[in-house]
Structure formats: C-alpha cells, structure tokens
Amino acid sequence: MSIPGPVVNLFDLNRSELEDFFESAVAKSYRAQQIMKWIYHRQETSFAAMTDISKAHRAWLLDETSLTLPEVVTRQISRDGTIKWVVRVANGNCVEMVLIPDRGRNTLCVSSQVGCTLDCSFCATGKQGFNGNLSTADIIGQVWLVERELRKKNENVSNVVLMGMGEPLLNLKAVLAATDLMTDDLAFGLSKRRVTISTSGVVPGIYELAEHTDVSLAISLHAPNDALRNVLVPINKKYPIAELMEACGHYLAGLGEHRTLTIEYTLMRGVNDSLAHAKELAKLLEVLRCKINLIPFNPFPASGYERPRVAEIRAFQTYLINAGYTTMLRTTRGSDIDAACGQLVGRVEDRTRRQKRYLARVKAQEVA
Ligand code: SAH
Ligand code: SF4
C-alpha cells in the first residue's frame, strides 16, 4: 500500500514552481499555464469546472492538490471607504488586510507575517508579538479574495503594498513567490511599479531581493541618525543607517534610472519632527534617488507617542520640498476602524511574551 504524500496547495507555487511540480508529477509542465488561467484569470477553485482538463487528470488534482485560500473572518468599512478584513491563515492565526480606494486606484495593503518579530517602538503590530510566517498562498490569497470582491463591480486590485502586518524581508521566500504571482501575466499581471515591498531595513534581505526581483521598494526610515533610529526601529542596531543606505543604492541600481525608492517617515511629536531633523534627513538622502512619504503617527492605546500638530507637519514637508524632494503627506485612511498604518493587530497567539507586557502597560495606563 502506498502512503499518500502531502497535498500541495497550488496557491503556494509561482509559475516556475508550478511547472516543475507538473513536470515531475505528470510530465506535463504546460499544465501550469492552464491551471493558472483557471485559478487567477477566471478565479475558479473547483477542479470539476476545469473542463479543458481530462477527467482522469482532474481526479488526480483532486486527490493530490488543493486550492486553499485564507478564510474571511470579519469585514469592516470605514466612513472614508477603506475596507479592512480579518482573515484566518493556514497556521490558524488571523491577520489583517486593508483596501484603500483612491481616485480610481484600488490599493491593497497585505500582511506577510502573523505579528512581527521586530519591535519598533511606535507600531501596534510589533506589540502583538509574533506567531509565524505567512505562506505564499496566505499572501497571494489576500489579493485573490479582494480581486474577487472588486470584480463584482467591474473593478480590480490596481496596486499592492506589503505594508500590513509583519516584516516582508524576514519571510522572503514566500513573499517573492507571491510578488512573482502579483506581476505574472498569467496571474494578476500588475506592473512591478505597482507592487511595493516595505522594509524596516533588513539589509541582507534587500541584497537578496535585488537578486530576484525589481518590484518597488519602500524603506521605513523614521529617523535621520543612528542614535534616534536605534530607539524607534531597533533593528537599526544590527544594520545601521550607513549600511542601509548602501543596500538602498544597490537596489536602486537594479531599477533603472527612471525609478526611485520610497522613504517612509512616520512623524511623532517632539521625537523626530523638528526642522533640525528635516535638515538632517535632507542631507542623508542626498545620495539616494528617492521620494519621501510622511506618515503622521497613528495612535493606539499606551503607545507613548503623539501625532504632531498640522503646522509642524506642514513645516517639515515644506522644508523637504524646498530641499528638492518630492514629499507626499500620507493622509490617514480608515482610522475609525483601526485600519491605518501601524494600527493592524489581527489575532495573534503570541509565542513571545511581548503582548503580555504590552497589555499590562495598557492596563496600568487605564488605571492611572
Ligand atoms: N514591517 C514593514 C512593513 C509594515 S509597517 C515596515 O516596517 O516597513 C508599514 C508602515 O507603517 C511602516 O512604514 C511603518 O513604520 C509604519 N507604521 C508603523 N506604525 C505606525 C504608526 N503607529 N503610525 C504611522 N505609521 C506607522
Ligand atoms: Fe514590524 Fe514594520 Fe511594525 Fe516595525 S513597523 S514592528 S518592522 S511591522
């Protein structure tokens, strides 16, 4: 009696992995293209409906493979039209994804990990602790589910940003296969400019990324010097700003001269929002072809930070614009449903003790 092997979730494989899988299983790599058209173009997840595949082969697919997507647990709509979903992923935990409709664009913000191992001092996701990486199917499945919803009203996901929960470059293998599918014509066919990976500065990950892809890259900088960045983004102690800048230059070299990096800078009142910081930032970024996104801090309980006043935010932006940088102010979207940057928490069964410590702090603040 033969022991059945594990069922392969076809959403876990990019095109070349699907080709290898079909080649070794049934000596027919072209099946990959056929299957991709069904599952991504036609969004069909029932093998029985795939009528251009022989009955015998469909029976084999049913036995040996699956088409498993994350499960939607809740869906909330913000007053401004932003939609947030909580989805249960393969390891049983829940993560969040957010759709931001804006002037004909539908930007989807997807998660890459359950929580985050890094503990940036101003980020709610970091306070939840960590409980594992998402699989490729979990990541591409988020895009698939939202695309299905949008198609019902003749719309599509137009941009994807990996800015939800987690640090994408600490789950690089799954993230790369997922971004391959986002940009593959046989799947979502998005231009590489419309797919953005955001990183807190995992330097080796940036080099590895450059070897495999040229999707857009955003760097969460938040501070113009190491002393401050060590406090806000602790991974800076391992990979300081100078090393990060070098890695950015390397990635940029692979993008061609018309593309830029995005520098993300969350503004926190009295912490990193002075004109002296803006000046230091302008100097630091001189060597880099980049545009700057300013994100006013989004509050969450017991964060210990505040958003600067509008006048201070504007002054910071104006300084950078005058210094020659394209500097956008990210408007806060979906804050009434906690869907704004840094507010995503999902439901993480924490494997670290960070969540406990954080919740104790929230309680202490409520009592005080
Ligand atoms: N881990 C990745 C991607 C997810 S975070 C990264 O750090 O880049 C997405 C963006 O939201 C990052 O730029 C992050 O620094 C920012 N962010 C986190 N918490 C925030 C908060 N409370 N207010 C505003 N932006 C925040
Ligand atoms: Fe993780 Fe990004 Fe939040 Fe930092 S900002 S804790 S890297 S999700």
In this prediction, residue 162 carries a pLDDT of 98
234 Cα to the center of ligand 2, angstroms:
10
CA of 220, closest atom in ligand 1: 13
262 Cα to the center of ligand 1, angstroms:
13
Which of 97, 121, 163, 219 for mutating ligand 1's site (highest number of atoms within 8 Å of CB)? 163
163 Cα to the center of ligand 1, angstroms:
7
d(CA 280, CA 316): 12
Contact 184, 220 (CB under 8 A): no
In this prediction, residue 354 carries a pLDDT of 81
93 Cα to the center of ligand 1, angstroms:
21
Q: Is 96 a catalytic residue?
A: yes
In this prediction, residue 1 carries a pLDDT of 42
The segments of the chain whose pLDDT lies below 70 read 1-5, 27, 29-30, 342, 368
d(CA 212, CA 16): 13
Encoded tokens for 54: 């022989």
What is the H or E stretch that residue 62 is in?
helix 55-64
In this prediction, residue 368 carries a pLDDT of 66
**Pocket of ligand 1 from Cβ distances under 6 Å:** 122-123, 163, 167, 198-200, 220, 264, 266, 295, 297-298, 341-342
Determine what percent of the chain falls in helix, strand and coil, rounding each to the nearest 5: 40, 20, 40
How far are the Cα atoms of 15, 191, 353 from residue 160, in angstroms, in the given order?
Answer: 19, 10, 32
**Residue of 19, 94, 96, 116 with catalytic role:** 96
Q: Which ligand is nearest to the CA of 130?
A: 2
Per residue in 287-313, is it b (16+ CB within 10 Å) or e — as a string? eeebebbbbbbbbbeebebebbeeebb
Which domains are present in the chain? 8-66 (1.10.150.530), 71-362 (3.20.20.70)
d(CA 353, CA 359): 10
List CB contacts of 287: < 8 A, sequence separation 6 or more. Answer: 245, 249
Instruction: Find residue 74's DSSP bridge partners.
Output: 86
With a pLDDT cut of 70, the percent of the chain lying above it is 97
Q: Which ligand is nearest to the CA of 221?
A: 1
Does residue 47 sit in helix, strand or coil? helix
Sign of the four-CA dihedral 23, 27, 32, 35: negative
In this prediction, residue 2 carries a pLDDT of 46
In this prediction, residue 302 carries a pLDDT of 86
Of the candidates 95, 60, 262, the one whose C-alpha atom is nearest the C-alpha of residue 174 is: 95
Q: Is 341 a catalytic residue?
A: yes
